[in-house]
Chain A
């Protein structure tokens, strides 16, 4: 089984420096891309069917295709790596950032070349200290060896790259909020359209891609679209970093073929449930994805299969709910997060999520009313797509909506017994 993304990574050890990265075949994709030209790189990524690994699964080449190209295109154009990983339960980009920083930098240079960007930013979350240190070093090395800066490897192409270390807040990971944050403004999201590809950072064409997405790019350029498609077990291409957290025997993170079934990840890699704990459900791809339950264990972890099962692949890092953990308490924790992280820009989000949190807290404290369930259900609709300015509240509504369906008995017990039965 091929594991291109993690091939060079040994957790707990120093990442490959530039010489080691080159020795392992690094920066060959950049040399090849510079010979191919931007159009052909774009065509390769399109043929590979690479989809965004940040959670939404938008086709990467399609995202790039909206960037104005040619002599009349506005400049500077920007390529931004979204490394603001903060989705609860998600710890995948951290491995790539700490474990192989040159892979990301090469992916960014090749991607920036495809859209003819002039400046690249890595937007990194504050807490990833080691990643910041290693990225700084790797960027400096890349400049010293002519992979960044003016006339890269003697070509006509030039790219500057900067690391921006943020200062917290989940909201900054939303791509238009991220643009405001980079400009030194409050990180409220922007209205779309215009889309960032046309008018993004400082009003210039901008592409924002996730860390894992960008790390795939050099491998596709090196080995081709057919090879990339062959890595997966289903219709979606490539490999995927899958993670498991919660009360399983071996929580962890693994690079596996895209489309590996949940059961295999949970049992063969995660070691199954810890002794004394029974599986009740999981959030397949971070806090803002719908619960799945025992019936779904054989579903493939890819974008379309997850959607067909009523959830989303999201970040691919699953959070397991066991029978000794209260599902209402878990939802209270999740909705507390979303209420706290709401930027406050639109009323349904800041007001609705706080209300949801209060109702869930009331249920946990034994003050639940039968009408609470209908209140919660109506919020899942009113906080859903189309009612708010960005995707934060719809994301918050997902686990709540499915939680109310799958754990209805648990909610009713809280109301009937006027207490949390797990306490």
Chain B
């Protein structure tokens, strides 16, 4: 709260201009949770976002449910090695005659789980650090933001390559952690991707903490913890969700790149990245080994970005709903 002196007239004017001001005792009733409902209505009008959402739902179902009906991904059948797409093997088979469709779906399980895990974890880290920095300001803000800069400045691939090549680390009572396994990759990627969320949340918190309802909450005796969790964070859910979505796309790409370079998920466990990597020498003859995993990555990332776009527009109060 900076100067409170002499701002009455400004406030009153702002209130007079506010389209939300309605005559006394009138109740506007677009139902409960109108903010979310409006956001959903805007989102529904965003064609690309709806398309993306549809594709993602399909992809998740295919990978996690459909894969159950597909052939075992590591089953080798030396009678029909490297055959092109057919009715028996829609995406063809590889040189060990493993079913490519099954491997893409199972690889998707790993890639999508890692991406989702990274989005979740990096959002939690980013929100906590951003909220603390923005709310308390001062030296804590400086410390946390420099710490954030540090992580943002790390060159991602060399860092990951080095970390993964350390291999398995002993976490004492927590057991061993394979940095190259799905869990290890999730943790490593989260370390790299929380920075942007922390910055966004810090910015939103800096603005929100000056709002009058935060003063009002203070005036009824609410603690800082309560103000942050009940009043500040619920009001920046929009940007948080949008950013989490974008992290999903980024995580898929980085995980793929890493696996492609041979540092990520190790074969024979399939992931979208190592499927691509395995096929790289044979694109000319066995195109299906490259194209199908490639398409899966490309379309998924595109869909996630569309959804992110749609969410950003849906939560942006400056965008009015077109009738």
A binds B: no
Measuring CB to CB, which residues of chain A are less than 8 angstroms from any residue of chain B? Answer: none
- Interface residues of chain B, those whose CB is within 8 Å of chain A, are none
